Amino acid sequence: IHAGPTKPIEELSSGLTRLAISFALIGLFFLGVTLLMLEKLTLRPIRRLVDSVIRACDGNQGSEPIQWASQKEFAELGEMVVRVLGVLERSQRTHREDVRRFNSAIENTPLIAIQGVNREGSILSWNSESTRLSGYGRSEAQGNRLHELLLSPESAEEFESDLGRVWATGNPVSARERHIRTKEGSVRWVYFSILPLLKDGRVTEAICMQVDITDRKTAERKIAQANEELQSMNEQLENT
């Protein structure tokens, strides 16, 4: 019973990890291609022009005349610069599309409340399931500190410690049971986990996720009460 609600969190955690690795590989690929094109197609011709200007300024008029770049070479150089800029623009569009898909996946993930927070716990993003769970709309939540908005003082202290550890180590915090306060003042039990979002090996944001387990906790409490009543009845029967 206890392991079931953690499965969506584990699956989303795995998906976020794969997405972060994909971003890193795509970034390295385009960086390598861009640097190669800049070196071969742009920087070398520019260095030749600069060397020619330096020799001219130094009065280096040896037996071999200075070869200035022709109009054709300048045109080819301009074309290469345009091509490099085109590659950069395409890579930026691809990155923006990946970010859009990532944000859409977060927003539309069912049954899991997801928030992005910074190092201080201030809310940067807030999906629709977070609103359903807590009662706070996105505009009400963003800018507030997550632990001050939803958690009790004791849980807030634990959250701050967990968040600091995530930021320091880059490792996730496994799901644990916590209770949160809704906007209406009611208490709901959740599985609460924190995952790092990495860029170039550094944590840039923490992703907090909660799965509502209030119904399960209520059922467990009723079962415990029923067991106590049954035990009390058995003891009374034994004493008669």
Residue whose structure tokens are 């849980």:
155
- Concatenating the DSSP letter of every residue in 156-206 gives HHHHHHHHHHHHHH---EEEEEEEEE-TTS-EEEEEEEEEEEEETTEEEEE
200, 24 Cβ separation under 8 angstroms: yes
> For residue 31, how many other CB atoms are within 10 A of its CB?
11
Whole-number mean pLDDT of the chain?
76
Does residue 178 come out as left (phi exceeding 0), alpha (psi in the -120 to 50 range) or beta?
beta
- Which helix (H) or strand (E) segment holds residue 147: the answer is helix 146-150
Distance CA(225)–CA(44), nearest Å, equals: 80
Catalogue the long-range contacts made by 192-196 (C-beta closer than 8 Å, 24 or more residues apart): 192/159, 193/9, 193/13, 194/159, 194/162, 194/163, 194/166, 195/13, 195/16, 195/166, 196/166, 196/167, 196/170, 196/171, 196/172
Distance CA(145)–CA(37), nearest Å, equals: 45
When comparing pLDDT for 51 and 141, which is higher? 141
207, 118 Cβ separation under 8 angstroms: no
What's residue 220's pLDDT?
Answer: 84
pLDDT digits (tens, 9 = 90+) for 12-66: 666 666 666 666 666 666 666 665 555 555 555 555 555 555 555 555 544 454 4
pLDDT digits (tens, 9 = 90+) for 165-211: 999 999 998 888 999 999 999 999 999 999 998 888 899 999 999 99
Give yes or no for residue 231 having a pLDDT over 50. yes
- Concatenating the DSSP letter of every residue in 83-139 gives HHHHHHHHHHHHHHHHHHHHHHHHHT-SS-EEEEE-TT-BEEEE-HHHHHHHS--HH
Give pTM, 2 decimals. Answer: 0.58
- DSSP alpha helices (H): ranges in 38-70? 44-57
Quick one: pLDDT band at residue 135, thresholds 50, 70, 90? very high
